[in-house]
Amino acid sequence: MQPRKRNPVLFSAESTALADDSEFRFQQDVLAGLAKTPKHLPCKYFYDERGSKLFDEICELDSYYPTRTETQIMIDNADAIGRRIGAGAVLVEYGSGSSTKTRKLLDHLPDPTAYIPVDISEGHLLMTADRLRLDYPDLDIHPIVADFTQGFDLPEVYRDAPLTVYFPGSTIGNLESSDAVDLLGRIAGQCNAQGGLLIGVDLDKDEQVLLDAYDDNQGVTAEFNRNLLHRINRELNANFAVERFKHVAIYNRGESRMELYLESCVEQVVVVGDSQFAFRQGERILTEYSHKYNVTRFAELALQAGLGVDEVWTDANGYFAVMHFSAL
């Protein structure tokens, strides 16, 4: 059988704007975030080329349980998950990254129609898609450059195919509850009657396990967090003295979430383009929330978005869940 042709990267109306105006959006989000009290930078901007590579390193750390645990759940339940999704599926992955867990899924799907990885990091996305084409030459692979939180268009050719959105990594936890419901609602709108949502959900657990995962003793997560400042310096003509900011990870028990910050070690003024921002010693920039759930609470959240839970797979420690939903 001849390998299928290499499908080009696709740009929906939203993702075309992202590709054309990404620097402008980045600049506006950074300026607006630094002007807030408290200061805030969106975590989606972690993932430039360097940030994507650093995150891959984080996923290999012994202390970073989410990737390892979710992958093992996928391996242990691959046949059941494949049967739940069914034959001929179009698999759309939100925030595909390196698509590592996706391979476990593709290997157990009965005759999948296509794989559509969606990611904000174009370079990393295209490199990963090319690697997948070598290993899956008979599968249509259509990478889409998009910020999945903003919505995007799917290829018309797959409109009537059974479509499953795959959303691993508990990335949904980066969103506040109202934003999570909005995103899940858009996913419900994408899934037809034959499709569904397969999503990874990080479960609440011992605080020390969480702190070890988000503040590793090798300093990779700290470098990943501070890389955002390097990116701002490089792309937005800023002068962050990166060494004057330290990585801080805390667990907010009341909100059931990990919080990542960059804390100013000294009183200082930072220039970003034509704007200046003053920092007090000890002042923090919020860079990420990572909400933790239990299975019941997440199912209730999804129900608000029009998604009903079909099946749940967890690990023996109860650290993580992979959940399948259908649109109601």
Give me the pLDDT at residue 121, please.
Answer: 82
Low-confidence stretches of the chain (pLDDT < 70) are 1-21
Give me the pLDDT at residue 233, please.
Answer: 98
Q: Residue 302 domain-assigned?
A: yes
Q: Residue 264 domain-assigned?
A: yes
Name, in order, each residue with C-beta under 8 angstroms of 145's C-beta and a sequence gap of 6 or more: 9, 10, 11, 15, 18, 19, 119, 120, 122, 125
Give me the pLDDT at residue 192, please.
Answer: 82
Residues 89 and 106 in one domain: yes
Structural domain total, the chain: 2
Residues 307 and 322 in one domain: yes
Residues 229 and 305 in one domain: no
Residues 167 and 312 in one domain: yes
Query: Which residue segment(s) compose the domain that 228 sits in?
Result: 18-55+220-291
Residues 112 and 182 in one domain: yes
Give me the pLDDT at residue 20, please.
Answer: 52
Residues 319 and 193 in one domain: yes
Q: Residue 7 domain-assigned?
A: no
Residues 138 and 281 in one domain: no
Q: Exposed e or buried b for every residue in 22-56, given b needs 16+ CB within 10 A?
A: beebbbeebeebbeeeebbbbbbbbbbeebbebbe
Q: Residue 1 domain-assigned?
A: no
Q: Residue 108 domain-assigned?
A: yes
- Residue 188 maps to which CATH number? 3.40.50.150
Residues 169 and 79 in one domain: yes
Task: Render pLDDT for 15-52 as a digit per residue (tens, 0 to 9).
Answer: 444 455 678 899 999 999 999 999 999 999 999 989 98
Residues 99 and 179 in one domain: yes
Residues 199 and 285 in one domain: no
Residues 226 and 280 in one domain: yes
Q: Residue 11 domain-assigned?
A: no
Residues 195 and 159 in one domain: yes
Tell me the CB-side half-sphere exposure of residue 288, using CA atoms within 13 A: 28
Task: Render pLDDT for 157-189 as a digit per residue (tens, 0 to 9).
Answer: 888 889 999 999 999 999 999 999 999 999 999
Q: Residue 5 domain-assigned?
A: no
Give me the pLDDT at residue 22, please.
Answer: 77
- Two tokens, residue 153: 């268009």
The pTM for the full model equals 0.90
Parallel, antiparallel or unpaired: strands 284-291 and 257-264? antiparallel
Q: Residue 226 domain-assigned?
A: yes
